[in-house]
Amino acid sequence: MSDYIYTVLGWLLFLAHTSLVIGVTLRVIMKRRAVGVSLAWLALIYAIPILGVAAYILFGEVRLGRKRAERAKSMYRPYADWINVLVSRFPGQRFEVSDPVRPIYELVKARLNMPMLTGNGMLLLQRPEEILAAMQADICAARSSCYLEFYIWYPGGLADEVAYALMDAARRGLDCRLLLDSVGSADFFRSRWPKRLREAGVKVVEVLPVGALRVLFERQDLRMHRKLAVIDDEVAYTGSMNLVDPACFKQDAGVGQWVDIMLRIRGPIVPIIWSLFVWDWEMETGERLLEQLEYHPISCLDNQLKLQLLPSGPFMGGDAIAQSLLTAVYQARRRLVLITPYFVPDDPLVAALCSAADRGVEVQLVLPARNDSRMVNHACNAFFDELLQAGVEIHLYAAGLLHTKCVLVDHQFALVGTVNLDKRSLWLNFEMTLLVDDGQVMGELLRLADDYLSDARPLSWLEWRKRPLRKRVAENLFYLLSPLL
């Protein structure tokens, strides 16, 4: 009798497992995503049936939770109307978008309702102590509000000075709010700082919290990767740097200090950046701040710096950021510089880079020589053969972990912000990018790129072909998984 029961149970388990695999397979097929992504998931599901199915259930689809999805749907029209009314009040906004920038501008305007605005002022900050000191000084001088949103806040060093300044501002009666990603800022949330900040009056919110029960309803690897600060609705910061002191952060990773930039911005684009913060605040908390403030726009009309904000994420504009990147590559005529810490491109981006090199564009890809993610590093290296053979220059930066993220096109325009050149940043994470249309600022950014190149070693195709077989095997293995990284 017991043998019969075991046999029946075995068949029931087999049927249940087979039904689950077939069901997930049909789910993958019906989603009609990129063929490479679908095939990668199917290979994983059939190669490791139980773990593959579990991985797809956990990470295969974008699930931000029912409440966030409903909020995002209901929020779009009020925010779009608010931005349209705001822009109509700005003086001096009659200008021509330069021809190379126009395709991206039109795409972003259509998909995201984000305007391009002129009359902005920008300061490029490159040293971490300079960045944190400037932010601290602006918070200390604030009169009404301090809103900060970061993927990582890591306690220690100069980052603590920013926390003290934020606490003092809250005690002065200012509206101080802090959005931090649950995973990126895990060390912060385990520290004494959240309690201290809240006791001082700072509103601290943990964005996209993780947990065992949440796995059933929300995808846990979707992250809030933005870096921004808005002080008094007049000064904004964005760029690649998290709220960390590199002298204290990841010192045991063996990659050196992280190298970043931030942009300190004044002018009409600041309230647009502010609206992105309050969008994220409402998405996470349900509290609407959009209509609580009346703006009296400040315009630095002696500057002709034109900026456009490109927010991106699972519910924002679909593939607008990926399409903007591809458009930028195809717009290049003389020189194209791409600086990123993580490079795991999709096939269209690889084809675009090779095409640019084939038509005579000087394509320079600047990557850190050492990366803090071995898996991503192997996946990145898998694309080097094709790129090097096409004439793309690959430069490995050796003076630390180069964490800056920007794309520079000729002397015409740039994309600068938080987006890495990998599928996670382009399709999954909440990110932000600035489209910069200004020759003077481009000169500064190109000088920054040249500084990075002076500390980088060019990689030749002949040298690359001599790498050990074991590395080639690892790269090709992770290449197969690259659509899932």
Catalytic residues: 225, 227, 232, 403, 405, 410
End-to-end CA distance of the chain: 49
Q: Which residues pair with 239 in a beta bridge?
A: 262
338: nearest Cα among 361, 359, 364, 376: 364
SS3 category, 302: coil
Q: What are phi and psi of 158, to 5 degrees?
A: -70, -20
Q: What sign does the dihedral 31-34-39-45 (CA atoms) show?
A: negative
265: nearest Cα among 461, 38, 94, 417: 417
Checking 208-214 for CB contacts under 8 A at 24+ apart, the result is 208/64, 208/181, 208/182, 208/183, 208/284, 209/182, 210/182, 210/183, 214/65
Residues 280, 430 contacting (CB under 8 angstroms): yes
Q: What are phi and psi of 245, to 5 degrees?
A: -95, 115
Return the structure tokens found at 195: 């309690």
Return the structure tokens found at 318: 């679909």
Q: Distance between CA 385 and CA 399 in Å, rounded?
A: 24
Q: Distance between CA 383 and CA 181 in Å, rounded?
A: 30
Residues 359, 330 contacting (CB under 8 angstroms): no
Residue type, 323: Q
Residue type, 461: W
